[in-house]
Amino acid sequence: MIHEVDEGLRRLLAESGLEASGVEVVFDAPTRDWAARRSAPTVCVFLYDVREDPTRRGSGGGEVYDAQGQVVARRTPPRWFELTYLVTAWAGRPQDEHRLLSEVLSCLVAHDSVPPRLLGGTLAELGLLVPLDVGGTGADAPAASEVWSALGGELRPSIGLRVLTPLAGVARNTAPPVTEGLVMRSGPGLRPAWSGPGTRPGARDDEPGHDAGGSDGGTGSSDEQHRLRYTELAEPAPGEGFGAPRERRPAPARRRRGGRQP
């Protein structure tokens, strides 16, 4: 999910014309060693804080469908997380860095969320919005000065970017839909369950009380399958599955209290 948000942000900044003008968009940590190796104008989008938003926890779940519209899995509700980024611009002169940072800011504030067409993977499958909060950080997120101190670099102008993104729930496969009726199979040497009185279902040929002739013409074995049907049911019509509607008898007339039955 995090890498999908990164790719969505990269595509969003690329549409503003940064990559076309030769500016690199990276997600590296802007440490002192990294800054010393930098040579081209760069916009760095550094992720430094990930926190769950417990107020958005849901209950229940959703259904996953295949191409035929059948339910193939059930998914738990998504969990929401806040991703906090530190966006900085790197160039040869402070004026160039400020210009880059201004272009990034104009691009980000023009969108309340990452455009759905720029999302991929599980974020595209969920079909949920991924809101953007530009210029602010979470209440519990570290301050920018603390981040620069931890990176071992000097404090630079930066944009705080917070992204609220869903994490797809766990999907559990469901059983396939029932398309046929109950089938009973009888194997070699097994007496069918509906054999005559005095024999228990599943009795073998060599047990006492077993008639070698059985119901298979005297061969002593059966390897057939029988579909169980109800005699009072008609043949199902197309589209009704394996069972047709059963006719119901009318309810008997109720006897009135203190009088005769009408």
- How many CA atoms does the CB half-sphere of 259 hold within 13 Å? 4
Note the pLDDT tens digit of each residue in 96-110: 999 999 999 999 999
What is the domain partition of the chain in residue ranges? 2-173, 180-234
How many residues are present in the chain?
A: 262
| Backbone torsions φ then ψ of 55, nearest 5 degrees | -70, -15
Tell me the pLDDT tens digit for each residue of 207-217. Answer: 554 444 444 44
Extract the tokens encoding 118: 């720029």
- Residue 7: phi and psi, rounded to 5, are -65, -35
Counting beta carbons within 10 angstroms of the beta carbon of residue 165, is it exposed (0 to 12), middle (13 to 18) or buried (19 or more)?
buried
Max mean pLDDT range (8-12, 198-202, 246-250): 8-12
CA distance 7 to 208: 75
Query: Above pLDDT 90, what percent of the chain?
Result: 31
Domain spanning 2-173, CATH architecture: 2-Layer Sandwich (3.30)
Please determine, for residue 46, whether its predicted confidence score (pLDDT) is greater than 60. yes
Give the tens place of pLDDT for each residue, 217-240: 444 444 555 555 555 555 556 655
Q: pLDDT at residue 3 above 90? A: yes
| pLDDT score of 113 more than 60 | yes
Q: Kindly give the residue spans of alpha helices, DSSP state H, lying in 45-176.
A: 94-109, 121-126, 144-151
